[in-house]
Amino acid sequence: MKSTETRKNELEARRAQLSERMAQVESELEGHEEKDWDDAAIEHESDEVLEDLGQSAQSEMRAIDAALARIEAGEYGYCVTCGERIDEARLDLLPATPFCREHAPGAKAPRQ
């Protein structure tokens, strides 16, 4: 079982990676030269991919920031819906998750 401090360090390291990636994406988007029509069309497609990557990184950073806030509040590792402890294996896969497996978005409702 990983300590909360270890998880915090991992989340902060991932946040730093994402921040660096976002800076690279931003630099790439701003660094285009004037191109002919064909090159501009290809570049536009590339820009869309880069923008999607940037949005994905921003979303993950928000989740990490929320997880870091839960660590500071002493609430990390507990489901925000039911309050039960989140399985360690789930936290290994999704360290920023605020939900147990049962309450994760898209989880199937338990059988009764």
pLDDT digits (tens, 9 = 90+) for 59-101: 999 999 999 999 999 999 999 999 999 999 999 999 999 999 9
Burial class (CB in 10 A: 0-12, 13-18, 19+), 90: middle
Return the H-helix or E-strand segment holding 13: helix 4-30
Q: Does any domain span residue 46?
A: yes
Q: Please report where in the chains the tokens 């921003």 appear, as a residue.
A: 58
pLDDT digits (tens, 9 = 90+) for 2-27: 999 999 999 999 999 999 988 887 88
- Chain centroid to Cα 96, Å, comes to 7
| Total domain count, the chain | 1
Which domain, by its residues, includes 10?
4-76
Q: Does any domain span residue 99?
A: no
Q: Does any domain span residue 44?
A: yes
pTM, two decimals, is 0.74
Q: Does any domain span residue 83?
A: no
Q: Does any domain span residue 54?
A: yes
Q: Does any domain span residue 38?
A: yes
Q: Does any domain span residue 98?
A: no
